[in-house]
């Protein structure tokens, strides 16, 4: 992906917005997300210097989760759907416990 595009910039800002809430050190975060540490610090510098606004997920804003109505449930429909502010959708077709859900979000 071309680093000069808006899409690339948005992708990097979204990734950086996940760092603080994760509670991980920069080194751990970079390793977990396969993100080169020199790029991490570059984007951190950009964010601080330009006071770049991170996507709303960094502020802890979440979209409400509503399970589908019982009459709509079928073997092919998800029993839970989580839609994040950045457009990512998580669909669950079987029950999931809180710790598993948390590990997917953080």
For 89-103, how does the pLDDT look when each residue is reduced to its tens digit (9 = 90+)?
778 777 777 777 777
- 19 vs 74, which has greater pLDDT? 19
Render pLDDT for 12-57 as a digit per residue (tens, 0 to 9): 888 888 888 888 899 999 999 888 889 888 888 887 777 655 555 4
pTM of the model: 0.44
Contact 49/41 with Cβ under 8 angstroms? no
Ranges assigned E (strand) in 34-94: 80-83, 89-92
Q: Sorting pLDDT into bands at 50, 70 and 90, what band is 67? A: low
């Amino acid at each position: 992906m071309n680093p000069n595009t808006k899409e690339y910039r948005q992708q990097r800002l979204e990734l950086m917005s996940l760092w603080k809430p994760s509670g991980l050190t920069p080194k751990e975060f970079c390793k977990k997300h396969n993100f080169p540490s020199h790029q991490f610090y570059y984007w951190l510098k950009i964010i601080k210097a330009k006071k770049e606004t991170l996507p709303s997920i960094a502020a802890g804003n979440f979209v409400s989760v509503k399970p589908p109505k019982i009459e709509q449930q079928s073997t092919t429909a998800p029993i839970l759907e989580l839609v994040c502010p950045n457009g990512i959708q998580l669909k669950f077709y079987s029950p999931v416990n809180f710790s598993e859900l948390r590990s997917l979000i953080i």
